[in-house]
Structure 1
């Protein structure tokens, strides 16, 4: 690191720390991680920025935006159903969590019951705690096993549209419309 780069880093450190601390919570990232990403961005440049303070503010916002996108796309490995689930201790096994999970399950069942046509029967069978196979579901409903996938897809699309109309999705940043 050259002397001019060291001076630039020393001069920008307080501004970067303040900007990162302000942007990090909304981005779902630690302020130190955000700072590190911006320092890397600075060191990857061929030359120093013309307006360092303005560049720092812009770089922090850019890195925060990247972190928000990454957070929306990524899911924990155990949340995807792979691997061993975490032990049911603390928050996950609390009475409040069980009550909320039960309420969510009842709401889903009620929404499935409001679907048109054969959708309530099909999705009800797929949501069964017995975990039936496609062959068993097809036999129970009297339809071919090959048509279960397309029918299921149409039913889930209908359910998705119905729930989207019923539930107001919060905007980015957690603000209600």
Structure 2
């Protein structure tokens, strides 16, 4: 059964996920480690996966696959602050793959449904997007810490709770927008310097 939880601010969820991931990497167990990370992020993953209109069993499989991928590839996550984004991206890709396979196996009579499902990308497009994402995050890593943390929060949340962001980053709510603008300008310069933008 899908877990239910009251939604807290995005910044708080991302910060707690980062803390639990750090604990796990450093050998913590129980709620201070992987168990705590699962507790914090599973409701978020359910939200991501169910957007693909998967059946309950398929959604559970996608989430389990996402956690297995993290266990196998945790060393690939160099910045613990990125674990929330890594998990949601992995879940989104697996949900898309699963929904695509389901559509191929069981053709639907209602063609209008297909218009609302994620569109299939070519392998070349997926590889290009992955390469672009790698260049982007390498550029983000060159920015000051406050910019790195702020951009990670706003990158993975459509409507971040500014009061939570302010508390997480220890900055006034009114300065978040201007700071984000300055950070994006710095990011653009970094991307230009690396040749990622022309």
Structures share fold, TM-score greater than 0.5? no
TM-score bucket of the superposed structures, by smaller chain: 0.3 to 0.5
Q: Normalized against structure 2, the TM-score is what?
A: 0.36
Pick 1 or 2: higher relative contact order, CA cutoff 8 A, min separation 6.
Answer: 2
Q: Normalized against structure 1, the TM-score is what?
A: 0.40
